[in-house]
Amino acid sequence: MTPNRIEQLLANMTLAEKVGQMTQVEKFSITPDEVAEHGIGSVLSGGGGNPEPNTPKAWTEMVAAYQDAALTSRMAVPLLYGVDAVHGHTNVYGATVFPHNIGLGATGDPDLVRRVARVTAEELIATGVRWDFAPPVSVPQDIRWGRTLEAYSEDTSLVTELGEAFLRGLQDAAGTGLAHPHAVLGCVKHFIADGGTQWGTAGGGTEVGETVGCDGNPGTADEVMTEERRLILEQHDNQFGEMYEHGRWGQRIDQGAALIGEEELRTVHLPPYLAALEDGARTIMVSLSSWHDLKLHAHRYLLTDVLKGELGFDGFLVSDWLAVDYLDPDYTTAVAMGINAGLDMVMVPHDWRKFMQTLIESVESGTVPTERIDDAVRRILRVKEEAGLFDGITADPELISSFGSPEHRAVAREAVAKSVVLLKNNGALPLRKNVSRIHVAGGAADDVGLQCGGWTVEWRGLPGGDIPGTSLLEAIHATVANEAEVAFDPNGHFADQPADVGIVVVAEPPYAEMTGDRADLTLPPEDIALIERMRARCEALVGVIYSGRPLLITDQVPHFDALVAAWLPGSEGAGLADVLFGDTPFSGRLPYAWPRDSSQIPLAALEASPEGPLWPRRYGLA
C-alpha cells in the first residue's frame, strides 16, 4: 500500500470508522462480529485473556476469528492483535518461559537477548499474534517498584543496549524488517520515566492540598493532591478492588509521579527510546505515571512536541490499560485531553462503545480537531501496512510444532545459566554430583510457577507445579549421581539426619505491576526461620533467591556458605542446576546495586550512603 493508497483509504472512511481504528478492546469485551461492524483497529488479550482451552491451537483460532472479521468490515482494514509477551509468549500454556528482564539484564548479553526475542516472536507468530507490548525500557530508580522485574537494569546504558537487542529480535526476522512473515511488531514502553517515580506519589499518601515535593522546574507545577485528583484515584482503586492488596495508595509507587527535572528525564530515561527509534520502533506505549502533576497520557509537550516533533516519531502511540479514564473525572474531558495530547490508539479496554461515541461527539463539537483524528489514523494505517498486514500475513502453522520445543527451551536454559549471579561462595560451589546427601528446603524449589513469577498464564502469575517446565528440585535429581541421596522438605524438617549440603530456596510470591509494590523488602519471618533451621542441619548451606529485585538480606548472608541470586528464571530450572553443579560457569553480574538496608532505598539514597551497597552493580563472582 502506497502513501497515496493510505490517503485514499483515509478519505473514504467515515468518522466512526476512523475512531474505530483508534480503538483497542480487550477480547473478553468484544465479539468478532462487533469488530467487523465497527471497524475496530485492535484487540488485545490482557493478562489472563486466554481462550479455553489455553492451547496454541485455540489461540490461533481465536486470533484468526477476530482478524477474519476485521477483513469483512466495510473498509477491510486488518486488525492488530496485541499481547504482553514480556518474557516469552507466556499467556499460552506450554510456552517457553524465559527469565524476566531483570535476569536478562544480569546476563549483559545483547545477542542472547536478541535470540530470546526471536524465540518469543516465533511462538507469537505460531498463534497469529503480530504485536508484542515489549520491550519495556524502564530505568528503575527505586527497587520497591513492582515492575522492577520487567526492567533490565537501573543503568541507562545497559537498558538501552538490551532494549535495542530485544526489539531487533522481534522485528527483524531475517534482515528484511517488519514485512517478513515471522516478524512481530514491538511496542517500546512506557513513555517516559515510569522507572523514575517517587514512592508515595501514586495517590493517597498525601492529604488534600498537600504538596509532595517537586523541584520547582520551569514549566511544571507542584504535585498537589486536589479533590479532583483524589476522585480519579478512588475510582481507579475501586475498579481494581482486590488487586490493591498492599494498603493505602500512599504505600505505592506504580503510576506515581516522576519529580525530576527535564535534564534528568532526558539523560536517564530518554536514551532507550532514542535508540529504539533508530532501530525502527513503530509503536510506543505511554506510561500511566506522571511527570510532576501531569499524567503522561495528557502530556502534549512530551508526546507531541518532543516525541513526534523533535524526535520525528511517525509511528503511533498507544495508551496503557484504562489510562484515559484517569485523566479527569469527566470522561468527555478525559478523552479529549488524551487524544489532543497525542494518543493515536486507546486501550479502552472494556467500554469501547462509550469511548467511540464520546470521541465522535468531541470531534463533532470541535473539541478534538478532525486533523488530529486523521493524523492518528494515518499513523495506524501506515504501521499496519509496514507490518505486512494488508498483504494477508497471518499465523504460520508450521511454527506450532516448535512451540515450547526443546530447541526453544535450550535458549531459555542458556539464559537462566547466564543470568544467575553468585553473591557469595566460601567453597561450597560447585556442588559435587556424587555428594552423599543433599537436603533441599523451601517450597519454591519444586514450584515452576514461583520460578516464572508474574505475567505467566495469568496476570499475576500462577504459583504451583502446573506450568510445563523443570523445577530446580527436578533438575537436581537429574544432575546428581545415582548414589547421591536428595531429600526434599518444603519446611526443612529433616529430623536429625545430617547432610553434606543443604539448599534453601526462598521466593517472592508472584506479582505484576502495582500489586508488586513493596515498602518492606526484607524476608518474611518464615523464610528467616527456614534458613536458620537448615543452617543447623547441614555442613554447607547454599541459598537460592527467586526475586524480581534485590531483597534486604544483610542479616541472613552470614548463614550461607554460598548464595546466588536466581531472579525469576522461568520454566527451565535446569539452567540453574547447570551453574550450581559447575557444568556452566557463573557469569551473571548484578544489574542493580544491592542495598544493605532500607535506608539505602531508593538509588539516590544508596549513592549518597557513606557505607556503600552490600554488593555494587555489576558485581558477581565467577
- Find how far residue 310's CA is from the centre of its chain: 27
- Identify which of 394, 393, 391 has the alpha carbon closest to the alpha carbon of residue 5: 391
- Find how far residue 94's CA is from the centre of its chain: 19
C-alpha to C-alpha distance for 153 and 575, rounded to whole angstroms: 21
| C-beta of residue 560 within 8 angstroms of C-beta of residue 541 | yes
Active-site residue identified among 84, 154, 223, 320: 320
- Total Cβ atoms within 10 A of residue 136: 24
Cell 492540598 locates to 209
CA within 13 Å, CB half, 309: 9
Decide if 513 is catalytic.
Answer: yes
Cell 473478553 locates to 28
- Total Cβ atoms within 10 A of residue 247: 10
C-alpha to C-alpha distance for 599 and 293, rounded to whole angstroms: 27
Burial of 122 (0-12, 13-18, 19+ CB in 10 A): buried
The strand order across the sheet containing 538-546 reads 421-425, 562-567, 538-546, 499-507, 437-441, 485-489
C-alpha to C-alpha distance for 603 and 582, rounded to whole angstroms: 33
Cell 485531553 locates to 337
| C-beta of residue 368 within 8 angstroms of C-beta of residue 362 | yes
If you ran DSSP here, which 8-state letter would residue 304 be given? I
The H or E element containing residue 212 is none
C-alpha to C-alpha distance for 618 and 437, rounded to whole angstroms: 34
DSSP H helices, 127-270, are 156-171, 227-240, 262-264
| C-beta of residue 584 within 8 angstroms of C-beta of residue 417 | yes
C-alpha to C-alpha distance for 188 and 279, rounded to whole angstroms: 11
| φ, ψ at 522 (rounded to 5°) | -80, 160
Query: Would you state the cell numbers that stand for residue 528, as one nine-digit string?
Result: 528467616
Query: Would you state the cell numbers that stand for residue 263, as one nine-digit string?
Result: 535534564
Active-site residue identified among 164, 386, 458, 513: 513
Query: Would you state the cell numbers that stand for residue 546, as one nine-digit string?
Result: 527467586
| C-beta of residue 556 within 8 angstroms of C-beta of residue 512 | no
C-alpha to C-alpha distance for 236 and 202, rounded to whole angstroms: 11
C-alpha to C-alpha distance for 399 and 397, rounded to whole angstroms: 5
Q: How far is CA 49 from CA 59, 87, 140, 205, in A?
A: 10, 16, 28, 32
Radius of gyration of the chain (CA): 24
C-alpha to C-alpha distance for 302 and 284, rounded to whole angstroms: 13
What are the start-end ranges of the E strands in 101-175?
131-132
Report, as residue numbers or ranges, the catalytic residues: 320, 513
